[in-house]
Amino acid sequence: MKKISFLILLGLLLNGCGATTSVVNTETKPILATIDLVHVTDDKVNVSVDPGEFTSDEVTFYIPVTVPGTYSIDNYGQYIEGFKALDYEGKELPVARYDQNTWNISNGKNLDKVVYRVNDTYDTENEKKDHVFSPAGTNILRGKNFMLNLHGFIGYFKGMTEVPYQLYISSPDNLIPTTSMSRKMDVKKVPGVDVFNAARYFEVTDNPIMYASPDTTSFQLKDIKVTLGVYSPNKLYDALDFKPSMEKMMQAQKAFLGTTNGTKSYDIILYLSNFAKDDATGFGALEHHKSTVVVFPEQMDKDRLEQAMIDVVSHEFFHTLTPLNVHSREIQYFDYNHPKMSEHLWMYEGTTEYFANLFQIKEGLIDETEFYKRMMEKINNSKQYDDTMSFTKMSKNVLEEPYKDQYPNVYEKGALINMALDITLRDLSQGEKGVLWMMKELAKKYDDKTPFDDDQLIPEIVSMTYPEVQSFFDSYVTGTTPIDYAKFLAKVGLAISEQDKPTGYFMDGEIPFIDIDPGNDNAIFVRKGIVLNNFFTDLGAKGGDIIKSIDGKAINLVNIRLLIGESFNWSPEREISMVVDRNGEEVSLKGKVGTPVLREWTIAPMKSVSDNQVMLREAWLKE
């Protein structure tokens, strides 16, 4: 998963991111599920799930609390209405709703099927504080678009997550599905009904489907067919607009990975939000084995949208390596309603994010200066998080406080852990081995059917590399020692230096220091997880502060734009007062605006380097 901050849209506005035993009497008969996208009432769709015959009187049905890749508690059951359990005569059986996501059914031996209505999540993103991240959410727009992240529609019965599913979806004639889910080919075709197969419940949740007007294109990455499906409500874009950049980028990714890939097809499902109050506001993407769902604002100009697509799709495609293939038992046998998390976010998200940048320098898409800039930005951003927190401990407890607030650091320090490990392996092997080699070796042993034991991954990596690697993990991954990046970069002849960079008061070029919270009445707040300029730090502002007023004037989405324009003419001696809401407490800040600068650190080659340092750098960035 990769989230893109609302700053993308703000910048746009200012200038024009274990198996269990089945309780049915046969394990070969699939569970039959239906979704009716034709007869939509009050923005809800009807769903039925028929499990076959039960041998137990007590039956439990679940809608997921969370799904792999989101690392958040979302409670998809809150979007379910009118739940009924029916016997073979169509009569209702007794049902007790245990919690938001769990229904207990009595007289289970008589159960024929369960039926219910589903609300979508996009409608309520602006109403709920902890709303579902849009790429993991659902959309019901009658006759126009249906975003079916199926964990929001189809549930499972206790003990039956390893049983096959057969899914029947009836849809309007003008809409077609974009999905990586396998079609059922040996059934009689019924007009307006698509039939899909899933070997187990995981495949249901792992294969999103978007129904929209026909707008797809495809291309080949050697043995992989890539399909791009686009929904653009105002027809501002179509699939062909993004084909050249996606093909160029993914060809480079395929060259980087070589033969290490576990899929013959890959679908990019792009949903462009019109940014209405009842539309998606969570921008970014969510990974799946054979696809990714991407959500961005339709109003973005083409250059920005293409770059955002490159950033997130490159990240998501590398997830086909990990965790979608190389992963632990916690992911293989994911517990959707009582989740047990893996220790290895440093790999699942960190390695993935690192590769999403490394492949671009190796394949000539960016130069060394740009790569160094990106790594330096991650070093700076990582300083906003707890640098002494064990990464494995954070990962294992990522759904709980205080660990969940540290999750965004997987894209910052997680990537940097891999950079430091990569340099370490290059140094120990005289340039021959790196993290890509390590992941390819792991992929020879582990795949989508063969998970590793969580506590055995690091010992296995050490055994296949060098004893010194154990010390690396003990210090920087399982341990609490901050990484001295300068020490590792020096091994490849690079140094970190610092200087003051001029900025605007509210913007660093096109990157804002503030953001908008659409779920809180478009409140303007100081961004978290970035280095702030001295205008904010000298005033005493902190990341997360909600700006209530400046110089006695209430701040909203309209006048903040005017204020930003005025700020370009401010004198350094100008006095300013700012009132912020900090964790529910009103705080007054006062001072001079000063001359805005950002303390900037840069990575650049040392003036004097050895042949060995040059060799290691070439091996690290080019081989």
| 445, 327 Cβ separation under 8 angstroms | no
What is the reported pLDDT for 15? Answer: 37
Across the chain, mean pLDDT equals 93
Q: Is the pLDDT of residue 3 over 70?
A: no
What is the reported pLDDT for 186? Answer: 61
Q: Is the pLDDT of residue 21 over 50?
A: no
Nearest to residue 27, comparing CAs of 153, 150, 151, 159? Answer: 159
Amino acid at 72: S
Average pLDDT over residues 128-150: 95
pTM for this one? 0.86
Q: Which residues pair with 49 in a beta bridge?
A: 33, 114
Full DSSP string of 117-185: EEE-SGGGTTT-TTPPPGGGS-EEETTTEEEE-GGGT--EETT-TTS-EEEEEE--TT-EEEE-SEE--
Quote the CA–CA distance of 395 and 413 in Å, as a whole number. Answer: 13
Q: Is the pLDDT of residue 24 over 70?
A: no
Full DSSP string of 103-119: EEESSGGGEEEEEEEEE
Q: Which residues pair with 217 in a beta bridge?
A: 228
Average pLDDT over residues 543-558: 94
Name the strand (E) or helix (H) holding 603.
strand 597-605
Residue 555 tokens, joined: 């701040």
Domains of the chain: residue spans and CATH: 31-318 (2.60.40.3650), 323-495 (1.10.390.10), 504-595 (2.30.42.10)
Average pLDDT over residues 6-35: 54
Residue 69 tokens, joined: 């890749």
Q: Is the pLDDT of residue 4 over 80?
A: no
Average pLDDT over residues 253-264: 86
Residue 501 tokens, joined: 């960079």
Name the DSSP letter for residue 405.
G
Average pLDDT over residues 366-371: 96
What is the reported pLDDT for 126? Answer: 81
What is the reported pLDDT for 28? Answer: 66
Name the DSSP letter for residue 596.
-
Of residues 509 and 294, the one with the higher pLDDT is 294
Q: Which residues pair with 575 in a beta bridge?
A: 592
Average pLDDT over residues 138-167: 97
